[in-house]
Amino acid sequence: QLQLQESGPGLVRPSETLSLTCSVSGRSISSSGNHWGWIRLAPGKGLEWVGSIDYSGTVRYSPSLKSRLTVSVDTSQNQISMILSPATATDTAVYYCVRHAQWLVKVDWWGRGTTVIVSS
Amino acid sequence: EIVLTQSPVSLPVTPGEPASITCRSSQSLLHRNGLNYVDWYLQKPGQSPQLLIYLGSNRASGVPDRFSGSGSGTDFTLKISRVEAEDVGVYYCMQGLQTSITFGAGTKVEIK
């Protein structure tokens, strides 16, 4: 059974760095056919794709976040990470770690989500 | 960037009755492989989103057969043949045809 567990600071100051980690259990993140990503849900808004990375290391970012975003994997820890810098108030959201069963579609596994508030 | 327009924004439903949600894309989502790169998701209150339909019309594992997806190109529909109380929540369409994923704004389904 695949499990995705997000972790990170609940509060980030504006202009500082928002850093999240997703610990994956039940599957190797580097095995072929596995693609990973982040999707967020801001208060009062709809779902928004943040970025995705596949098992070979190919990454794709939301155009609106690309200049501030880095998504990476740590195969030794079986983790996926995202860094958003500098953070702004509009980055306040619940962040979900996800698995795509097919590149950029079919998001078949979701973490429980972690809430991040960007505020001074 | 591909824009997805969902309608309606809000959908009051009666248990046992059918319901449908439409998703219109600003560009065709039909890949050259013949598949439509559109999925449907449901976020129930207090839960993470869940996959309902992938690649236009394929029901995800464990999804009841009262849910179905149809359409091709730019127009897609999610249908619930007989709504149950557990189907309340926000429904989203999502496209992944290009290198950037986008979601529709969501349709909130509530029981009348």
B31: three-class secondary structure by DSSP: coil
Point out the residues of chain B with pLDDT beneath 70.
none
Q: Where are the beta strands (DSSP E) in chain A?
A: 3-7, 11-12, 18-25, 35-41, 47-54, 59-61, 69-74, 79-84, 93-102, 105-110, 114-118
By three-state DSSP, how is residue A51 classified?
A: strand
Please give the pLDDT value at position A55.
81
Spell out which residues of chain B touch residue A41, defining contact as CB-CB under 8 Å.
Answer: 43
Terminal-residue alpha carbon distance, chain B: 36
Q: Do A47 and B41 touch (CB under 8 A)?
A: yes
Q: Which residues of A touch B1 (CB under 8 A)?
A: 63
The rounded Cα A23 to chain-centroid distance in angstroms is 11
Interstrand relation of B75-80 and B19-25 (parallel, antiparallel or unpaired): antiparallel
User: By CA distance, what is A65's nearest residue in B?
Assistant: B100
Least CB-CB distance to A104: which of B43, B50, B101? B101
| Contact (CB<8Å) A104/B104 | no
According to the model, what pLDDT value does residue A32 have?
Answer: 85
Q: What is the pLDDT of residue B96?
A: 94
Q: What CA–CA distance (Å, rounded) separates B69 from B27?
A: 18
The rounded average pLDDT for each run of 10 residues, N- to C-terminus, in chain A (120 residues) is: 95 98 94 92 97 90 97 95 98 97 92 98
Q: Which of B52, B101, B108 to mutate to test the interface with A (most CBs of A within 10 A)?
A: B101
Q: What is the phi/psi pair of residue A91, to 5°?
A: -85, -5
Q: What is the pLDDT of residue B34?
A: 95
